[in-house]
Amino acid sequence: MAKIIKLPKKKKANIRFIYFILALWTVYVIVFGITYLTRKKVTIYEVKPGSISENSTYIAIIQRSEELVTTPYSGQCNFLVSEGERVTIGDNVVCYDNSGELTSYINSFNESSNELSKEDYKAIAKEFNEFKKAYNSKDFANGNLLVADINSNIKAYMSKNSLNKLNEYTRSISSGFNTVKSEKTGIITFHYDGLENMNFDELKFSDFPDTVKPMNNIENYSQVSSNSTAYRIVTSQKWNMYIKLSDQDAKNLADKSTVKVYFKKNNLTMNSAFEIVNTKYGLYGKFSFNRLMSDFINDRYVEIEIDKSVNEGLKIPKTALVKKSFYVIPKDVAFEYNGKMSVSVRRKDSKGELKDLVIDLNIIAEDDDNYYITDLDFYKDDMINTKINSKYYGSDFLTLSETKEFEGVYWVNNGYVIFKRVEIFDSNDEYYIIKSNTKYGISKYDNIIYDSHTVKEDEILY
């Protein structure tokens, strides 16, 4: 009879242990998911080299050595010189006809010589072309001025050949008209605006219009009354131009002594001497020229663009900027200890006894006289020893009290939030350009918080 061998029963798997592991894993996944979904959403920005190159547009006010001359006479005015012509002392400029004799002479002369030369046509075409190049919808009102100028100039061109004869004729008759002569040497123009005696030392922002305003013009052969403007004379080729500056403009242009200026009116670019003028009414940019005055003799306001040099540095979003105040520590009370700048501090311990300690400074900026530090390692009643150096502060100890505000960003290379100072030297609507390789600052490819309002200093992110 065969022997029956009884096999041992197979052990059942520990179902409870497996369930426990599964439950533990489920809890972990749920907790991790909740943590991930509810954690603070922080955007990190990698700092990269960048630049801002843009031309800034301004309305400028022109300053010249100029003078308005009025006439004591009334009657029909007759220009004896052309617009923009140079005169010397004693030259006839305008005569005023009351008898009609001079007007009859001019009409009879013009009937036989009323054709324009090729040069005259070219000059008129040039005016149209310059206006066309610079035109936009804001200049619509200036079209009327252009028409008036062209009409006036056509009359001037048609009569310029007769000016010598007209001068001879006025000298040959002795009554019926009066002549206004030039009392100075300069360039004559028959445009004016009443701002010839403007005090540029008291320039105000309100003196700058939003758009270019044209000058008034005196029409040849028009009827005028006594004490009205006869002409304007400009006595120097040197002229200045002013623009109003924002604080950021002044900062961007602070180191400029020459700038490149583009004039929209005639598509002209010129280099100019430049300086910033600080008056009680604000900051202004002053441009100085010594040529091409005649090209702008009939402009008080011009639209210009300043060619700002490309400013290269580190580019950061404006949302990253944060401002914070830091304590001021005189450099004279600090010393180097274990490779770090430190101060000697007298502090009360838990028993109320005074102890002298050496505290390392967490410096975020410095200048010639001071360090600017955080208060992370200091207590409210800490007293800083001033006897380290010979300078006398009026006391053997000082406390942290004086502060100064700095601009900076939150630096997060190590996973926690640290303030780092930045120095801004240019900007546009979205970005700042800051100096690179500054002491205590940030470097290219550093990680910073994109929006400084989403974190707090010393917060641990990861």
Question: SS3 of 439, please?
Answer: coil
pLDDT at 197 over 90: yes
pLDDT score for 415: 87
What does the longest C-alpha to C-alpha distance in the chain come to? 170
The sheet carrying 223-224 orders its strands as 177-181, 92-97, 75-79, 223-224
For residues 60 and 211, give the distance between their C-alpha atoms in angstroms, rounded to a whole number. 10
Domain boundaries, the chain: 57-309, 317-454
- The pLDDT tens digits for 1-60 are 455 555 455 455 567 667 777 778 888 788 776 766 666 678 999 999 987 766 789 999
Q: Which residues pair with 284 in a beta bridge?
A: 244, 277
pLDDT at 445: 94
Residues 203, 382: Cα–Cα separation, whole Å:
52
Q: What is the pLDDT of residues 103-159, one digit of tens each?
A: 666 666 555 555 556 666 566 566 656 655 555 544 444 455 455 555 555 555 544
> Mean pLDDT, to the nearest integer, of 50-72?
89
Please tell me whether residue 162 adopts helix, strand or coil conformation.
coil
- Asked if residue 444 has pLDDT above 50, the reply is yes
Element (DSSP H or E) covering residue 111: helix 101-112
Cα distance between residue 377 and residue 354, in whole Å:
17
Q: What is the pTM of this model?
A: 0.55
Read off the pLDDT of each residue in 372-388 and give the average, rounded to a whole number. 83
Burial class (CB in 10 A: 0-12, 13-18, 19+), 398: middle
**Whole-number pLDDT of residue 242:** 98
Q: What percent of the chain has pLDDT over 90?
A: 44
Higher pLDDT, 273 or 26: 273
pLDDT digits (tens, 9 = 90+) for 235-261: 999 999 999 999 888 888 888 899 999
Report in angstroms the alpha-carbon separations of 326 from 180, 329, 386, 403, 419: 71, 10, 19, 5, 11
Q: Token pair 């909740």 is at which residue?
A: 34
Q: Residue 8: its pLDDT value, please?
A: 54
